[in-house]
Structures are given as structure tokens and as C-alpha cells.
Chain A
Amino acid sequence: MEETTITRIEELKDIANEVRFRIVDMVYRAQSGHCGGSLSAADIVTALYFEIMKINPAAPDWPDRDRFILSKGHACPVQYAALSLKGYFPLDELGTFRKLHSRLQGHPVAGKLPGIEVTTGSLGIGFCEGIGLGLDAKLRKQDWRVWIVLGDGELNEGAVWEAAQAGSKFHLDNVTAIVDRNRLQNDGFCDDIMPIEPVVEKFRVFGWETYEIDGHNMSEIVRTLHVARQVKGKPTCIVARTVKGKGVSFMENVRDWHGKAPNSEQYEQAVRELRGGRT
């Protein structure tokens, strides 16, 4: 099994921090977008792009690449930040997010920007698209994988469970779903809006191999993603316990920061916390 060294883990943590800065910066410059769910997924998305996935930014259409799907498309600042830091497009372009004629649409649009595999934004759909992609990899007898990041509120959508059945039926061991379990959705805490526990058990009884991890512990994330890759005969689901708004103190665990842009003072403070270490 592949391993990741301790030094590499430290590098990944630094990259995740840079991803976080880019998220806040992007949403601030657009004065629109979703900070909370982008920040909670930053460590997971960083691990995937910078350590786990078989990808080549210079050849975004390489047929054997792994496919990444951000099913919770509203959190696209995290994906745009990772893609640009990885070299898919210039960092400057992050400043065009959500603006007219930008390739960085409000929700990810396939074909507009290199690295975006399928269009998402309507919750529940990206996960189903991932099942279809996984099936085609099997049909073509190719060994690339599909990595899908879902929101926990997103699990309310019935379509997720319909596709979960299919993933199991078709033995899609090339599909890994990671649930960003930040415990918040749009209107409040998941427990109040729509309780979804026991999430891990639900995926398990749907026939998926399951894991539960700390979604901000880089070595645990990387280790579990390596393990998921080895599972044979069924799809894998990793439920990652996270904090919505992770890394910016005043955004952490606050419903209001689901889809709000920081003002200049808040932006300054966020940058201090992300770049200067927390006081």
C-alpha cells in the first residue's frame, strides 16, 4: 500500500491553509459565494488533489485520470482554489469568480474550466453522476477512480440513496464518496432541519464499505483515502467529521456563514488568522 511521509503531511497542511486563504479571498472579491462549506472541505479536497488522485494538470483530459466531483457544488471555491494552486489555470483568474464571462461560474460547470468533470449545483445530482462515471470506467476496463465530495445536508435528497443502491448493485469499487459531515445545512443544524444519523450505518446497510474520520486530521484523511482505494467489490464511503467554516474563528459553526461574503474588516481578520496563525 502507498504511504505518505510525515514531511509530506506537513506540506499538505500548508497547502490546505493556502486553499483556505484563497477561498476567503475569492468570496470576498466576488462579494458572493459560500465560505462555510468550502472551508470545511478544504483538508479533504487538498488531500485528494495534492496526494491521492491520479491527475495531470497539463493534460486535464487525459483519459486515465481520476475524476473528482464536487456534488455539493456551492462549495466550488474550494475546488477552484485547489485547481488553480495545482496549476490548472492561473491564480489570478480566481478574482473573476461569479463575475460576468468568467469560467469560474457560481456553481461548477463542465466544459468551461479545465478540471471540472460534470456540472453540479443542484444537490444530490453530482453523486449520481459519479455512479455513472464509475460504471463507464468499468465498461472501458480502465482503472481510474471517481472521488465524490457530498454535503451532509445533501444526504436529505432521495436521489443520493437511489444512487447508493446502484453503486452497491454494480459493485463500484472504483467509487469513493466522502461526506463532509459539518453538521450544518442552509437553515440550521442538520439535527434540527433533518436528522440523518446514523450516517455511517446507513451507507453500510446500503452495501458500501464505510469509514468515519476526523476530516481535519490530514494524516488520517490521507491514510483512509489510501485504504479506500484498496477495497474490492463494493463502493466506499468516508464520513468525515468537520467544522463548517474551519480555520476562520468567527465563521466556525455559524449558520449565517453558509452563503455570505465577508466585509473588509472580517476579511482582514480572516486573513490574519489563516496567514498569521491564530492569536
Chain B
Amino acid sequence: MNLPRAFNPTRKAFSEQMASRGAESDFAVFESDIGYSTYSYLFGDRFPERYFNFGIAEVSTMAAAAGMASNGRTVFVAGYGVFLTMRALEVVRSFVCYPHLNVKILSSHGGVTAAIDGVTHQATEDIAFMTTLPEMKVLCPCDTASAKAAFDLALKTPGPVFVRLMRDPLFELYPEGTSFALGGSKVVREGSDITIAAYGDMVFEAIDAADRLAARGIRAEVLDLYSIKPVDWAGITASISKTHTLLVVENHQARNGLGTYIGDALLQTGASVRYDHVGLEDRFAESGDYRGVIETYGLCATNIEAHAKKLLAANQGR
């Protein structure tokens, strides 16, 4: 894969954009004592009067955000995905989503990207929880340009928005200034044999897998589904009408992730598509370096390649 290495993780790019937009919009930022991890301190340093650190108290932080948002001010709540989407889940559901408030969630360390900290810090069910909530919009950028755009989308989209960000810097995919839309997607590799749809870090694994498949004469199309909810049905449909084969890849539990949603919808439409997904197979991961963990748990190019080949072999039998 010949993409340039990223200097900054998406959590930092997002927070940089948040700090740079602070002058033109009067949103507030709520933090719960991991401002140096989420980089929310970048906003706090520039706009101390609109930056509130609640200490290690995710539930009350989220509820206070709902309170402030009820008075008409947009609030970004920064934190680790595990704590914001699970410990504060009831607040997000009943007091942010139900009243459709402008609370935006900066959710760092998505998937197993907090690899080295272990399972208590790995947000591998966040997409299931967040996409299940009515009113909630869910985004997952993979690089600097898309992370900055995700901030702008979160700010301008009415109501609750959840943005999943990563711990580690990976690669740069999009030129600065690329436009992204709520409900959009990007074709990052064109192909006609199989569609590989991914989001976040798994976009890079999918690209890597596509390169490996190309070496064997298989043309894979790679879709970046950065808008997880709403998802780009038109984009998915256009791609699978060529390939008739879809592999959804996510750094998340395979069960109840984006793949489950797409697979279910495809069944409803009766589309004739071979479908499979790659994700955590109903198990917890463990501590280790990022690369080691994603490879051990199959969230990697070689496993995507293997699944793709199996899927295509099944296709030939039809």
C-alpha cells in the first residue's frame, strides 16, 4: 500500500478542527479528565471560558451536556468510546437522542485501537449501541481530511452526532479539502469483482487486501463508509450492482455492527448478493500492540483477502 503515513491520529485532527472553529461558533466542549488523550485541551487552551473539565465522571458530564444543550447551545463531549457509549449510554439515549439535542460525541479510541490498554479500554460495541439509537447520526473518518470534515458535519447537522476516532496515526488517504457528506461514501478503489466496504482504520486494511487480490487478478472495489448512519445506500447499491458480492469489514463485534444492518437490509430488498463480514467473532480481544492485536483477531488485510476469496469461490458455484 503506497499511502503516506499520517503524523496525527484522527482524534487529534478532529480536535484541531474543533479548536479552529471555536472562534466562529459558540459551542462548548465538555471533557472528563482525558483531555490530553482526546486533544480537547487544544480547544480549552484557546477558549477556556467554554471548556469544562468535569473530572472522571462520564455520566454526569453527558447529562450536564444535555442540560446545556437544552438551552440552545451545542456541546461537544470528549472521551474514550468505552466510557461514553456504555457507562453514559442511558443518558445518551433518553436525554440526548430522545429530545434530539445538539450534543456531539467525540469518541476516541474506537475499536481495538486502544489495543495496548486491553479490553476495558477497547470500544468494540460502540457502533452497535450508537446506531441503534433513534435520532443519532454516526460518523467514522479514517484520516486527517475526513476527521476535519467530520467535525464540520457534526457541527452543522442538527441533533446528536457520534464520531468514532482512532488512537493511532495510520495513513493519509484524502487530499485536504475533500468534501464529505452525511449519508455519503467514497469509492477509494474501483473494481468489478467484489465490493469491500469498511470504515475507519479498516479502510486501510481493505485497500491492502484489494492490492493483494489484484495480484491474483481479482478486482476489488473498496468503499469507505465513513457515514455509518445514515449509510450511503445509493453508493452501496451502485457498487454491488456491478460486483454482486459484498464483504463488510469493521473494527467492531461482527454481530450487530454495520454489516449486520446492511446484510439485514439486503435480505429485505431481495437483492441477489453474496454477503459476508469481517469483525470480532463474538469474543473480546486483549492487550498488545495495535498491529499484533488486529492480526491476531482477524481485523486485517490477510483475513479480508481470505474471506473475499471464499466468497468469490462460492459465487462461481452459482
User: Which residues of A are at the interface with B, using a C-beta cutoff of 8 A?
Assistant: 30, 32, 73, 98-102, 105-107, 109, 119-124, 153-154, 156-158, 185-187, 193-194
Q: List 29 A-B contacts (CB under 8 A).
A: A73-B120, A98-B287, A98-B288, A99-B292, A101-B288, A105-B119, A106-B116, A106-B120, A106-B121, A106-B287, A107-B118, A109-B118, A109-B119, A119-B120, A121-B117, A122-B120, A123-B56, A124-B56, A153-B55, A153-B56, A154-B56, A156-B33, A156-B57, A185-B56, A186-B56, A187-B31, A187-B53, A193-B53, A193-B55
Chain A's interface: helix, strand, loop or mixed, by majority?
loop
Most buried by A among B35, B37, B118: B118
**What's the nearest-Cβ distance from chain A to residue B106, in Å?**
15
Say yes or no: B287 contacts A102, CB within 8 Å.
yes
Which residues of B lie under 8 Å from residue A119 when comparing CB positions?
Answer: 120
Complex CA gap A120/B35 in Å reads 22
**What's the nearest-Cβ distance from chain A to residue B149, in Å?**
28
Complex CA gap A187/B36 in Å reads 6
B310 at the interface (CB under 8 A from A): no
Instruction: Scan B266-302; emit 1 where CB is below 8 A from any A CB, else 0.
Output: 0000000000000000000011110011001000000
Complex CA gap A196/B117 in Å reads 27
The 5 closest A-B pairs by CB, nearest first: A194-B55, A121-B120, A100-B288, A156-B55, A106-B118
Interface size of B by CB at 8 A reads: 30
Complex CA gap A187/B116 in Å reads 20
Complex CA gap A249/B34 in Å reads 25
Which residues of B lie under 8 Å from residue A122 when comparing CB positions?
Answer: 82-83, 87, 120
Number of A-B contacts (CB under 8 A): 90
Complex CA gap A202/B41 in Å reads 30
Q: Which of A109, A120, A158, A186 contacts B59 (CB 8 A)?
A: A158
Chain A: CB-nearest residue to B80 = A122
Instruction: Scan B39-80; emit 1 where CB is below 8 A from any A CB, else 0.
Output: 001000000000001111101100000000000000000000
Say yes or no: A186 contacts B33, CB within 8 Å.
yes
**What's the nearest-Cβ distance from chain B to residue A71, in Å?**
12
Complex CA gap A7/B149 in Å reads 65
Which residues of B lie under 8 Å from residue A30 when comparing CB positions?
Answer: 116
Which residues of A lie under 8 Å from residue B82 when comparing CB positions?
Answer: 122
Which residues of B lie under 8 Å from residue A32 when comparing CB positions?
Answer: 116
Which residues of A lie under 8 Å from residue B55 when comparing CB positions?
Answer: 153, 156, 185, 193-194
Complex CA gap A32/B121 in Å reads 14
Say yes or no: B33 contacts A194, CB within 8 Å.
yes
Say yes or no: A187 contacts B287, CB within 8 Å.
no
